[in-house]
Amino acid sequence: MDQACETLGRQINIMEVCGTHTVSIFRNGIRPTLPRSLKLLSGPGCPVCVTDQGYIDIMLEIADRDDCIIATYGDMIRVPGKDGSLEKRAKSNVKLVLSSEDAIKLAEENPDKTVVFVAVGFETTTPATAVAIKDAAEKNLDNFCILSGHKLVIPAMDALLSEKNHKIDAFLCPGHVSVIIGTDAYKPIVETYKRPCVVAGFEPMQVIEGIAEICRQLTNDAPEVISMYPAAVTATGNTTAWQIINTFFQPYDGYWRGLGKIPGGTLRLKEEYAKFDAMKRFGFNEIPAEDLTGCRCGEVLCGLIDPADCGMFETKCTPDSPVGPCMVSSEGACSAWYKYGRRRKRRT
């Protein structure tokens, strides 16, 4: 790592695009162990944090209906829309689930209510949602539907790199997602943008090994896709999982919180499964654009500015009342900056 910093003679920005990496880096205190000129940027890797305001607003509107039960992953309830969050609404029809299977069970147990599953997550959780739809179709479960906010990782990486002036030197790629999408999925990123893509595990030493491999590639100016993750990651990924995603979902240009529309970055149900689509069932045409005027998360994510350079930082946007994804995520760049930024530098 030191050699890479010396060879390049400037700051190196490595972006992780997985919430689990972000948490591992944070919990294990990895940042302070790295050379000063090596900066880790927490990318849009937490599916909850990148869920846009418009999606949340529709979810809140559905939650206001007495004939519905909202089945959601726990950490979604704090993500704010224009006017509050599920947590702040404190509605009794909001049930926390750990899987889409639990949501199906809720639908079976409550035949007089419509269960709306808050379907968010990357390629790791989407297959489970697809299986739930398959299950519901086979069981003729008419009181189950999903509000899809599923996202795809590669289009987001592409969008960040196509941003003029971005300062991302390499990606630390997520182990779990890569098991599904395979290492070949990153090839276009490496070929088009000449940026290393290294798949790493989540144990602290695996993260550090991944960073070291990125530094090696940067030093040698030889970007490539490499998996440092155990054998589970293959070149083509899990084709069964992909097939089931493709059977039920299709990509479209959806909003990502703070980042705007990302071409092909969001998944929605195909027309033939419209009856399981909460948008259609409740008469919503499309997810409205969000209004995060003043939020500069896009630039924070690209390594262009520090959180404190954003005009909303600490004023309109705080961890208890977050606006952009970097503050919504408790380990996000802005949230971390808010909590630790004012702390005196440690005497060394």
Residues making contact with another protein (CB under 8 A): 18-20, 23, 26-33, 45-48, 73-78, 87, 96, 98, 120-122, 125, 204-205, 208, 330, 339-340, 342-344, 346
Among candidates 76, 78, 135, which has minimal Cα distance to 108?
A: 135
Quote the least distance from Cβ 204 to another protein, whole Å.
Answer: 5
The C-alpha atoms of residue 280 and residue 161 are separated, in whole angstroms, by 34
Quote the least distance from Cβ 275 to another protein, whole Å.
Answer: 25
Would you say 166 or 178 has its CB closer to another protein?
Answer: 178
Would you say 9 or 340 has its CB closer to another protein?
Answer: 340
With beta carbons less than 8 A apart as the criterion, state whether 263 and 253 touch: yes
The C-alpha atoms of residue 260 and residue 263 are separated, in whole angstroms, by 10
What are the angstrom distances between the C-alpha of 282 and each of 15, 80, 320?
38, 21, 31
The C-alpha atoms of residue 210 and residue 145 are separated, in whole angstroms, by 39
Helix (H) or strand (E) segment spanning residue 306: none
First vs last Cα of the chain: how many Å apart?
21
Would you say 50 or 190 has its CB closer to another protein?
Answer: 50
Quote the least distance from Cβ 9 to another protein, whole Å.
Answer: 26
Would you say 190 or 317 has its CB closer to another protein?
Answer: 317
Quote the least distance from Cβ 321 to another protein, whole Å.
Answer: 12
Would you say 93 or 296 has its CB closer to another protein?
Answer: 93
Would you say 74 or 311 has its CB closer to another protein?
Answer: 74
The C-alpha atoms of residue 2 and residue 237 are separated, in whole angstroms, by 33
Would you say 100 or 183 has its CB closer to another protein?
Answer: 100
Would you say 205 or 235 has its CB closer to another protein?
Answer: 205
Beta-carbon count within 10 A of 347 CB:
4
Quote the least distance from Cβ 20 to another protein, whole Å.
Answer: 6
Helix, strand or coil for residue 313?
strand
Would you say 303 or 322 has its CB closer to another protein?
Answer: 322
Quote the least distance from Cβ 34 to another protein, whole Å.
Answer: 9
With beta carbons less than 8 A apart as the criterion, state whether 346 and 38 touch: no
Helix, strand or coil for residue 126?
helix
Tokens describing residue 336: 């971390």
Quote the least distance from Cβ 176 to another protein, whole Å.
Answer: 9
Helix (H) or strand (E) segment spanning residue 116: strand 114-119
Counting beta carbons within 10 angstroms of the beta carbon of residue 27, is it exposed (0 to 12), middle (13 to 18) or buried (19 or more)?
exposed
Among candidates 11, 67, 8, which has minimal Cα distance to 36?
A: 11
With beta carbons less than 8 A apart as the criterion, state whether 82 and 97 touch: no
Quote the least distance from Cβ 75 to another protein, whole Å.
Answer: 5
Quote the least distance from Cβ 233 to another protein, whole Å.
Answer: 18
Contact residues for 242 (Cβ-Cβ < 8 A; gap 6+): 180, 181
